Amino acid sequence: MISQDDIDAMTPAEMVEEFATTAKQPANKEMSIDLVWEEALEWYDEVNFISHHHPVAELKEMADLIYVLYGRARVMGYDLQEAVARVHKNNMGRMKQPDGTVKFREDGKVMKNKDYPKVDLSDLV
């Protein structure tokens, strides 16, 4: 049996692998899509009712969504953890314009430097 300390040290990918192994759950592409969609809708329902917003419930749905996304990555053989790290590194580089400034659209979204190379995840699939 895995201890609480061992669980606390696990990556999300390792947690999902432990769950699937313990449940003897085979890799199922169709089910992984359905689970992501189901959790996305549950999260949306939580944030869509602003007058009844429950932050704890929203956080739980966000965690469920991340969990099933890691499950989908497991089923597909994707290295999601490395992909997220590369996307973050790329986002940090792409936000700076050639003159070193950060520019924003009217709605507040950061404008990407169109000359900065796009992230390459081709070796992770």
- Residues 18-59 have pLDDT tens digits of 999 999 988 999 999 999 999 999 999 888 876 677 889 999
Return d(Cα 7, Cα 51) in angstroms, integer: 36
Q: Amino acid identity, residue 2?
A: I
Mean pLDDT, range 89-99, rounded to an integer: 94
Q: Average pLDDT, whole number, for the chain?
A: 92
- CB-based contacts of 8: which residues, under 8 Å, 6+ apart? none
Per-residue pLDDT for 1 more than 90? no
Closest to 15 measured CA to CA, from 77, 84, 62, 66:
66
- For 10-111, where are the alpha helices, taking DSSP H only? 12-22, 29-48, 55-76, 80-94
Rounded Cα gap, residues 4 and 64, in angstroms: 19
* CA pair distance 59, 101, nearest whole angstrom: 33
